[in-house]
Amino acid sequence: MALPLGAVQLAVVSFISISLSLAALALRLWSKHILHRPLVFHDYMACGAMLFTTGAASVYLAAGFAAGLGLHLDYIMATDPAILALFLKLFVPGQLLWAAANTCVKISILSLYTSLFEASWRFVLLCYATMVFTAAYFISVLLETFLLCKPVEFNWDKSIAGSCEGQNTAYLVAGITNLVIDVFVVVMPMPMLFGLRMSLRKRLGVVGMFSLGGL
C-alpha cells in the first residue's frame, strides 16, 4: 500500500509542533533554573502535557504509517481491510492520550492563574472549580472509551458480536465540551486584565499574550 499523503503531512506537522512545544517547555524550565525557583504544580502539569502530547502524536503517526490513517475507508476495505482493526486499536490509546494532554494543559493554565491572581479569592475559587470540571471531563472520556462498546473488544474488532450505543453522540458531546472549556479558560482572566491600570495598548498586549498562551 502506498504511503498516504495524509501520513506525511501529519508527520511534518507533528514534528514541528512537538519541537516548538519542547523548546517552549525547555525555556520555561531553564528560566526556573537560572532564577533558582523551584518547580511548582503548573510546571509539573506542563511536563505531563508534553509527555502525553508526545505519546498521542506517536500513536497517530503509527496509525498514519502502518494503519491507513489519511486513507479513505473504501480504499482500505478494497486493498487491505486487515489494517482497519489495527487503526481502531491505535485509536483507543490515541484518544486517551489526547484527552490526558488537553486536561494537563488546562489544569496547568488554571493553576498558573491561581498564582497570578491570588488576591481575588473569587477568581481563585472559580479556577479550582474549573479544574474539577476539567478532571471530570477527562474521566468521562475515559469511561466512554471502555463502557460504550460491549464487549470492550468491539471497539477495534468489528468481526465479533457487539454494539456501541451512542458512541457518535458521546464523541460529539465530548468535542463540544472540550471546546467550551478551552474558550472559557482563555476568557476567564480577560475582565481582570482589562481592568489593569495601564494604557490600552499595553492592556491589549497583555490580553494577546494570555490568549496565545491559552491557545
Write the single-letter amino acid at 50. M
Who wins on pLDDT, 89 or 107? 107
Q: How confident is the model at residue 202 (pLDDT cuts 50, 70, 90)?
A: low
Write the single-letter amino acid at 172. L
pLDDT at residue 203, rounded to an integer: 66
Highest mean pLDDT out of 6-20, 85-99, 117-131, 195-209: 117-131
pLDDT at residue 170, rounded to an integer: 86
Does residue 45 contact residue 108 with C-beta atoms inside 8 Å?
yes
Who wins on pLDDT, 174 or 72? 174
SS3 38: coil
pLDDT at residue 4, rounded to an integer: 63
SS3 41: helix
**pLDDT for 144-169, tens place per residue?**
888 888 888 887 777 788 888 877 88
Rounded CA-CA distance 57/63 in Å is 10
Angular region, 196: left φ>0, alpha ψ -120 to 50, beta rest: beta
pLDDT at residue 78, rounded to an integer: 72
pLDDT at residue 134, rounded to an integer: 95
Which three cell numbers, joined as nine digits, stand for 146? 471502555
Average of per-residue pLDDT across 72-87: 73
Which three cell numbers, joined as nine digits, stand for 116? 497570578
Q: Where are the domains of the chain?
A: 5-214
Compute φ and ψ for 164, nearest 5 degrees. Answer: -125, 95
* pTM of the complete model: 0.82
Cell 489519511 appears where?
A: 70
Task: Indicate if the pLDDT at residue 123 is higher than 60.
Answer: yes
Does residue 149 contact residue 164 with C-beta atoms inside 8 Å?
yes
Average of per-residue pLDDT across 133-142: 93
Average of per-residue pLDDT across 179-184: 91
Q: For the beta carbon of residue 90, count every other beta carbon within 10 angstroms.
A: 21
Q: How many CA atoms lie within 13 A of 57 on its CB side?
A: 21
Say how many Å lie between the first and final Cα of the chain, rounded: 37
